[in-house]
Chains A and B, each alone.
Chain A
Amino acid sequence: MTGLILRTLLSHWRSRPFQIVTLLLGLIVATALWSGVQAINAEARASYAQAAATLGTDRFDSLRPRGAQRFDQRAYVALRRAGWLVSPIVEGDLRLDGARFRVLGIDPVTAPADLPARPDLQGDALTGFLGQAGLILTGAQTAGRLPADADLPPVRVMDGIAPRTLVMDIGTAQRLLGMSGQLSRLIVLPEAQDGIPPLAVAGIEWNRIAPRGADGGIAALTDSFHLNLTAFGFLAFAVGLFIVYSSIGLAFEQRKPMLRTLRALGVPLRLLMLVMVVELTALALLAGIAGVALGYLIAASLLPDVAATLQGLYGAQVSGTLSLRPAWWLTGLAIAMGGAGLAAADTLWRTARMPLLSAALPEAWHGAQRRAQRVQGIAALGCFALAAVLSQTASSLTAGFVLMGALLIGAALSLPVMLSVILGLGARRARGPLAQWGWADARQQMSRLSLALMALLLALSANIGVGTMVMSFRDTFTGWLDQRLVAEVYVTASDAAQGQEIQRWAQGRVDAVLPIWSTETRLGDMPASIYGVAQHATYSDHWPLIEELPDAWQSLASGQAAMINEQMAGRRDLSPGDRITVPLPDGGEWPMIVAAIYSDYGNPTDQVMVDVDLLSERFPDIERLRFALRTDQTAEIIAEARDRFALPSDQITDQAAIKALSLAIFERTFTVTGALNVLTLAVAALALLTAMLTLQLMRLPWLAPLWAMGLTRAALARAELLKVMALALLTAILAIPVGLGVAWVLTNVINVTAFGWRLPMNVYPADWLRLIGLSLLTAAIAAGLPVLRLARTAPRTLLGVFASER
């Protein structure tokens, strides 16, 4: 009997192939966008874990000198002699043809046996690795990216090495990085003693850094980015489910007589429900497989941009190629099934409660709509109340996203109520029967179209919100770049000796030579950069300060004050007048007052700015390579410096080139967001199209009497098109305040908690007009096909509505 019932139920789809196509399409799109985003996140997190494992920062303690990035390798020898079981590491970045690679130099003899980067080499290979020429070990993808003409040791491909990482012997790494006799850190072997080696052993004050976990600590930085992607994926998934919901709902309405007949013929309700669940599961499985496959394609096409963004924003190395993970496939299928279940729950519930005999009363849409809208209105008020509370209290990323969710869900739920009120007012003011019918009919259609319109509202709000944030960010960023990049020429010497030479040469040729020297250190538990700047009007006149004490710039010269970036102030709750202490390489401390806070967009780490002379005095090993030059002869200076010092173009650039590069990185950062924005809007258009097509089938009995009373099919089609476009227009207008709310949450809550900087929010009415136009176009495309079909409906089909002998 079960097979017979299943065949009977499936026969419905045979007669309505379009319906099953929309159902499957909705589920495929929803699953694809969700699983695509998850695939990107999984790939990125796997890369972080691999990087941490390769570098050994996931399991092993490390020793670093306080306040310095490198130290003399004799300190390592001294520690070993004193019985400390440590292994040396040399780390640094190598730029080859514009691409950045992480160099990891290890000592295979003393490295922990389970360090993935430790090569399992024997014989000639080991000799080659340790020998004068050296040997580079790297992954297959990274090996393929190495420039063919680079002057590098031989390369051997090895599994398990993080993306864009080159593993080699310490000596080879020191040579490639120009770190002769220097080490970056020491890995503390598991069997080594606890604590920190005393100062007396190697003459260095050490920091012992605990393992940073499987992701190497980068996950904390990149969480906001992945949460952003997840939020977009979820939004697209929800919008896709609207399509599934409306398709399943329509199928239920049309199958009602069949279900009643089956029940009347003696099919038990439980069995009927079971067969419906089996049918749904089979469809969900089919759509899930296709959705996950499509998600893979989406993820594969977006991953290179995501990898570039993560590297640009956080310095995180992510593989640009997607791996197939069984867990991801299974999750994708589960999501498809769960989504289908969610979308069908209402239909299954109504089937279970369906009376065996059909009621003779016509569809009581008015009362039902009013009741539903009352419930939606109350739920929307609840969401808005939650959003209002969170807008004052949210201080974490999760709370920020809950706030955005509450705002969006509240707006979506209140949309039918607001549209209903507007349409009711319109109907009251309408002149002429056709206009009156148009308003009233649009109001009636709300119950069937509201889900699709909610999807459109969500997509448009997200577009306005993210667009406003990105454009505000772009405007702020370009203004900030103009303020910050004041010098005309920026030059980086190849080594310290050349740096001195350039400084001497430039002093007689340009208006001012401003050293930009920096060092990396740890303040408390977190890393920070210490930047030195010269006392010059270039900084005091232009540098973008957010808060400052009086005479902030003058107080820097005394060495008793420093400026800090906005993210450091936010993370450490510092304000002008507070005290900070910078550890020095000699074991001493440098206490300072925070004289000012400056904006520092795009920098994930904390930054302290001090006087450059004092910095080089207290950090004697600092690299003295970078300079900003003030001159009104930019082209001549660049040409002369290139000739005289044989500087490649990436070591001497003018202000415009740096700005262009910064803006290019900025634009690429938001490529993925833009792509997801467009995809979400496309899904909303699809939801509107499927809703219109399904609605058209149901609306024939409502339209046929009008036709019978003397309206042509073309006039009815025009009225239908006008109505859908009017609804889309109203939705787009209502999406503007919601989108601005989303933008406010992004700029004032999520950005602050995720990145540490606050953005001024600007408004872009021209962009709203573009989106209103886009939503009208979306509506016109979505309504185009159904309206065309209505205009061409055969009179016989319309007459079917009136046939008494049915």
Chain B
Amino acid sequence: MLTITDLHKSFETADAPMPVLRGVDMEIATGECVALTGESGSGKSTLLHLVAALDTFDRGSITLDGQEFSGMGDTARANLRRTRIGVIFQQFNLIPSLSVGDNLSFHARLSDRYDAAWQAELTERLGLSELVHRWPEQLSGGQQQRVAVGRAIAARPALVLADEPTGNLDEATGSAVMDLLLDLVAETQATLLMVTHSGALAARLNRRIHLRHGRVAEVAAA
């Protein structure tokens, strides 16, 4: 279970600290898929980064299955990201020096959770079997995002975070990638928190949490 309580985060600016999150509270059950929506500047991506243990917050708390994020040092947060969280970025952010196959297995091997059979199945289901020896630069946007999905899921993380995962793809390709993502998340019983601007995508998840001015403005069932 992911629990966020009274979360505050502000960024330093030349004049004064600029608050981005002003007391966010939410609870997401294990295996639940939640869409995080909101206007530009509402704090969606900042919240996602904090949940991904990529950044530290000023006040409040985040716990994942009882593990408290606050007070964690750099190494502990890195360990958390490596072992329990999978992130999918809008820009794919594949490692250009590694082949498609190596990109797919990279996170799982990094976290010592590599499972060859699962990897092979994942590759097959993502439709990447023919492409494992290629380089990321040789793939289309949709193919690259499928690799990014596979990389995030391969380690069977407890929490999958996705930041506009289909934002760079056309509608049909984006929809296909979403199908795969939701299937795999369901199969691995992971929790999914996804930032999106798309109402249609949000509608495919269990719940939608809408942020406004750094606070939860609305929680709605999809």
CB contacts under 8 Å to A, within B177-206, are 195
B74 touching A712 by the CB < 8 A rule?
yes
Q: Does A799 contact B (CB under 8 A)?
A: yes
A796 to chain B, nearest CB (A): 7
B167 touching A709 by the CB < 8 A rule?
no
B102 touching A709 by the CB < 8 A rule?
no
B54 touching A708 by the CB < 8 A rule?
yes
Instruction: Assess A443 versus B74: contact at CB under 8 Å? Given A362-B137, A710-B81, A802-B89.
Output: no
- Chain B residues, Cβ within 8 Å of A13: none
Q: Does B208 contact A (CB under 8 A)?
A: no
Q: Does A267 contact B (CB under 8 A)?
A: no
Contact of B102 among A436, A795, A798 (CB under 8 A): A436
Q: Does A366 contact B (CB under 8 A)?
A: yes
Chain B residue at minimal CB-CB distance from A714:
B74
A729 to B2, CA, bound (A): 48
A363 touching B106 by the CB < 8 A rule?
no
Instruction: Assess A804 versus B91: contact at CB under 8 Å? Given A437-B97, A709-B81.
Output: yes
B151 to chain A, nearest CB (A): 8
B93 touching A705 by the CB < 8 A rule?
yes
Instruction: Assess A804 versus B137: contact at CB under 8 Å? Given A433-B109, A713-B74.
Output: no
Of A706, A799, A804, most B-chain CB atoms within 10 Å: A804
Residues 349-390 of chain A, each 1 if its beta carbon lies under 8 Å from chain B, else 0: 000000000001111111100000000000000000000000
CB contacts under 8 Å to B, within A421-463, are 432-434, 436-437, 440-441, 443-444
Instruction: Assess A798 versus B54: contact at CB under 8 Å? Given A704-B93, A709-B82, A712-B75.
Output: yes
Instruction: Assess A802 versus B136: contact at CB under 8 Å? Given A710-B78, A795-B56.
Output: no
A700 to chain B, nearest CB (A): 11
Chain A residue at minimal CB-CB distance from B76:
A712
CB contacts under 8 Å to B, within A554-594, are none
- Chain B residues, Cβ within 8 Å of A712: 74-75, 78
B105 to chain A, nearest CB (A): 7
Residues 124-166 of chain B, each 1 if its beta carbon lies under 8 Å from chain A, else 0: 0000000000011110010010000000000000000001100
A805 touching B95 by the CB < 8 A rule?
no
A463 to chain B, nearest CB (A): 31
Of A361, A363, A437, most B-chain CB atoms within 10 Å: A437
CB contacts under 8 Å to B, within A81-103, are none
Instruction: Assess A799 versus B55: contact at CB under 8 Å? Given A437-B97, A804-B195.
Output: yes
Chain A residue at minimal CB-CB distance from B49:
A799
Q: Does B45 contact A (CB under 8 A)?
A: yes
Q: Does A21 contact B (CB under 8 A)?
A: no
Q: Does A711 contact B (CB under 8 A)?
A: yes
Contact of A365 among B74, B89, B137 (CB under 8 A): B137
B95 touching A705 by the CB < 8 A rule?
yes
A367 to B107, CA, bound (A): 25
Of B74, B95, B141, most A-chain CB atoms within 10 Å: B95
B96 touching A444 by the CB < 8 A rule?
yes
- Chain B residues, Cβ within 8 Å of A706: 95
Chain B residue at minimal CB-CB distance from A712:
B78
Of B54, B87, B144, most A-chain CB atoms within 10 Å: B54
Instruction: Assess A364 versus B45: contact at CB under 8 Å? Given A434-B110, A710-B78, A801-B93.
Output: no
B106 touching A433 by the CB < 8 A rule?
yes
A789 to chain B, nearest CB (A): 16
Q: Does A803 contact B (CB under 8 A)?
A: yes
Residue total for B at the interface (Cβ-Cβ under 8 A): 43
Contact of B136 among A362, A433, A713 (CB under 8 A): A362
Residues 62-93 of chain B, each 1 if its beta carbon lies under 8 Å from chain A, else 0: 00000000000011001111110001011101
Q: Does B29 contact A (CB under 8 A)?
A: no
- Chain B residues, Cβ within 8 Å of A710: 78-83, 107, 110-111
- Chain A residues, Cβ within 8 Å of B118: none
B110 touching A802 by the CB < 8 A rule?
no
A706 to B80, CA, bound (A): 13
- Chain B residues, Cβ within 8 Å of A802: 45, 49, 54, 87, 89-91, 93, 163
B222 to chain A, nearest CB (A): 21
Q: Does A701 contact B (CB under 8 A)?
A: yes
A432 to B110, CA, bound (A): 8
- Chain B residues, Cβ within 8 Å of A441: 95, 97
B95 touching A366 by the CB < 8 A rule?
no
A796 touching B95 by the CB < 8 A rule?
no
Q: Does B40 contact A (CB under 8 A)?
A: yes
Of B93, B144, B163, most A-chain CB atoms within 10 Å: B93
A708 touching B97 by the CB < 8 A rule?
no
Q: Does B98 contact A (CB under 8 A)?
A: yes
Q: Does A18 contact B (CB under 8 A)?
A: no
Chain A residue at minimal CB-CB distance from B40:
A805
- Chain A residues, Cβ within 8 Å of B33: none
A708 touching B55 by the CB < 8 A rule?
no
A804 touching B105 by the CB < 8 A rule?
no
A39 to chain B, nearest CB (A): 46
B112 to chain A, nearest CB (A): 10
A796 touching B55 by the CB < 8 A rule?
yes
A803 to B82, CA, bound (A): 20
Contact of B93 among A434, A444, A708, A796 (CB under 8 A): A708
A594 to B48, CA, bound (A): 92
Q: Does B52 contact A (CB under 8 A)?
A: yes
A178 to B90, CA, bound (A): 94
Q: Does B7 contact A (CB under 8 A)?
A: no
Q: Does A702 contact B (CB under 8 A)?
A: yes
A416 to chain B, nearest CB (A): 15
B55 touching A433 by the CB < 8 A rule?
no
Of A367, A796, A798, most B-chain CB atoms within 10 Å: A796
- Chain B residues, Cβ within 8 Å of A367: 135, 137-138
- Chain B residues, Cβ within 8 Å of A444: 96-97
B95 touching A702 by the CB < 8 A rule?
yes
B78 touching A711 by the CB < 8 A rule?
yes
Contact of B141 among A360, A365, A708, A711 (CB under 8 A): A360
Q: Does B35 contact A (CB under 8 A)?
A: no
B106 touching A709 by the CB < 8 A rule?
yes
Chain B residue at minimal CB-CB distance from A440:
B97
- Chain A residues, Cβ within 8 Å of B141: 360
Known pairs A367-B137, A710-B107, A802-B91. 17 more at Cβ < 8 A? A360-B141, A366-B137, A433-B110, A437-B97, A441-B97, A443-B97, A701-B93, A702-B97, A706-B95, A709-B110, A710-B78, A710-B83, A710-B110, A795-B54, A795-B55, A801-B93, A805-B45
What are 16 sample pairs from A and B whose C-beta atoms fall under 8 A apart? A436-B98, A437-B106, A440-B97, A440-B98, A440-B102, A441-B97, A701-B93, A704-B93, A705-B93, A708-B87, A709-B81, A709-B82, A710-B82, A712-B74, A713-B74, A795-B56
Shortest beta-carbon contacts, A-B, top 5 = A710-B82, A444-B97, A433-B109, A804-B90, A710-B81
A interface residue numbers (CB < 8 A to B): 360-367, 432-434, 436-437, 440-441, 443-444, 701-702, 704-715, 795-796, 798-799, 801-805
